[in-house]
Each structure stands twice: as C-alpha cells, then as structure tokens.
Amino acid sequence: MLKDITLGQYFPGNTAAHKLDPRTKILLVVLYITALFTAKSFLAYGLMALVLAVCVRVSKVGLRALVKGLKPVLFIIVFTGVLNLFFTPGEGILWAWGPLHITSSGLRNAAFMVLRIMLLIMGTFLLTYTTSPISLTDGLERLLNGLKRFHVPVHELTMIMSIALRFIPTLIEETDKIMSAQKARGADFESGNLMEKAKALVPILVPLFISAFRRADELATAMECRCYHGGEGRTKLHVLKYGRRDYTALALGVLVLAGVIAMRAFGR
C-alpha cells in the first residue's frame, strides 16, 4: 500500500519536454500559473487548456497518469466548485432554496474555479513527471542563486530537498519492515475507528524516527568523509546549459501569457 505514494514521481523519457533545461520548465510553470490566474474568460481558459494539451502531447505522458494526479485533490475541487456555485451573490437568480441560490455569475465562477484548479494541478504535475528530482533541485538551486546575496541558504535548502527525495524509498522500505515486525507480534492496523487506527501508528512512528535520526547521523559522517564542506567551491557533474530549444519554449510561454493578458484587457 505504501508503494502507491507518487510524490514527485518521474517518468523517464527522451522527448523535447524531457530535454528542456529544468530552469526553463520551472519558469514556464510560473508563467503558466500567472496566465491561469489572469484568465477571466472561457476563451482564455480554452487557450490554456489547448496549451496544456500540446505540452502533454509533446511530453508523451499518458493522459491517464495526469488524471490520476487529480484524484487526491478531488475533494478540494468539488468543495470549491460547490461553494462558488451556491454562495456567489449576484443578479439573475436561477434557483434558490433558503440561503442557497444559484446565480448565473455563480455558475460562471464555479466553472472557472474548477477549471483553474484542474489545469493548475495537471500543469505542475507535468513538470514533475518530465523532470527527474535531481535536475529539478539542480534547476531550483541555479534559479535561486541570486538570493544567496541576501544570505538565503539556497545550497543547503536544495541539498536538504534532494536528500529527502533520496531517502523516501529507503524510509518506505523501513516502514514496511517495522509494520511487518509489529504485525508478527499481533499489532492490528486495519480495524477500529479513525482514532484507534491513528493510535496504532504510534509504535511504527517511534522506531521510524529513531532510525531516521541514526541514519542522518551516519549520512552526515559519510558526507564529511567525502569532503563535503557546504556549497562553496563546489563543481557539478552535469552543468545546466540553455539551448535554442529553451529560448523557443520561453518565448512561446511569454507569448501565451501576453495573449491571456490581452484577452483580459479587451474583456474577452
């Protein structure tokens, strides 16, 4: 059951979307999100959906994998949809029952919100699906490099991130082992109400934490033995380089954002 966790899942591939510099992709996602929050008309949302469809097509990530990414946030989508549908004040009441009422602007808002969240999540998932965690953190470090001037510990933060990603499978394996060991001694994780289930997790979390701290200690020693002394003077095996592909992609991204802004300005 623990194997299903899809945090930062990556589908290896060799498409143009995979080959883009991670920095380009992060910037594109930022542009994409800005455009999504600027969009105020069905035409603009249509354009954004089209952009996403093209990106999905290029990356050859299955549509099913993207839709699966929506599942955990289904509740939030439905919740915001319903809230917007019934509680938006406005003219032209179509239906009313007590404090609940559906207005035409409510209908519009609900549709926009649902569309926005869905496009937002699918777009960001596309980033993690086509970018390996290591190049993602690499790109992030390089993008945020300027913040070092303001004493933001950029290298340390990205190092923490990549080590956390590295240890997810190790810790999942460990959790499985501890659970098996507890089950073998008669622990019960399945029955009981929510409270009881949560209580049953405590004997798993305690040894897991202790072992995680021990691991961290050993890892720190091993890193120091391999001459780790912070980000200063570090070189890289893979140096990130912008290519023509990256400039083209960024130009297209800016163009789409400009288009959406123009649509909003002209009220379409």
Partner 1 sequence: MSNMIQTESLRFAYPADEGQKPVYALRGVDLEIEKGSFVVILGHNGSGKSTLAKTFNAVLLPAGGKVYVEGMDTLDQDLLLAIRQRVGMVFQNPDNQIVANVVEEDVAFAPENLGVPTEEIRRRVDGALKAVGMDEFVTHAPHLLSGGQKQRIAIAGVIAMEPACVVLDEATAMLDPIGRREVLATIHRLNQEKGITVILITHHMNEAENADRVVVMNDGRVDLDGTPEEVFSQVARLRHLGLTVPDTVDLLDRLRQKGWDVPLDALRAEDCAAAVAGALEKK
What residues make contact with partner 1 under the rule CB under 8 A?
132-134, 162-163, 165-166, 169-170, 173, 215, 218-219, 221-229, 233-239
Q: How many whole angstroms separate alpha carbon 250 and alpha carbon 21?
A: 11
29, two tokens: 């996602």
Between residues 93 and 160, which has the closer beta carbon with respect to partner 1? 160
- 192's CB contacts (< 8 A; 6+ apart) are 200
Phi-psi region of 230 (alpha: psi -120 to 50; beta: other; left: phi over 0): left
> In whole angstroms, how close is the CB of 165 to partner 1 at the nearest point?
6
Query: Is 100 in a helix, a strand, or coil?
Result: strand
| CA proximity to 21, closest of 105, 131, 185, 109 | 131
Smallest gap from residue 64 Cβ to partner 1 (A):
24
Q: Which residue, 12 or 186, is less far from partner 1 as judged by CB?
A: 12
CB of residue 110 to partner 1, shortest distance in Å: 41
Provide the 3-class DSSP secondary structure of residue 96. Answer: strand
Q: Which is nearer to partner 1, 134 or 143 (CB)?
A: 134
Q: How far is the CB of 66 from partner 1 (least distance, A)?
A: 23
Going by C-beta distance under 8 Å and a sequence separation of 6 or more, which residues neighbour residue 139? 21, 22, 23, 25, 26, 131, 240
Q: Looking at beta carbons only, is 146 or 169 nearer to partner 1?
A: 169
How many Cβ atoms are within 10 Å of 88's Cβ, its own excluded? 18
φ/ψ of residue 9, rounded to 5: -70, 145
Question: Which CB sits closer to partner 1, 221 or 248?
Answer: 221
* Min CB(219)–partner 1 separation in Å: 5
Q: Which is nearer to partner 1, 149 or 229 (CB)?
A: 229
Is 29:127 a contact under the CB 8 Å cutoff?
yes
Q: How far is the CB of 149 from partner 1 (least distance, A)?
A: 21
User: Which of 239, 65, 229 minimizes the C-alpha distance to 159?
Assistant: 229
Phi, psi of 25 (to 5 degrees): -65, -40
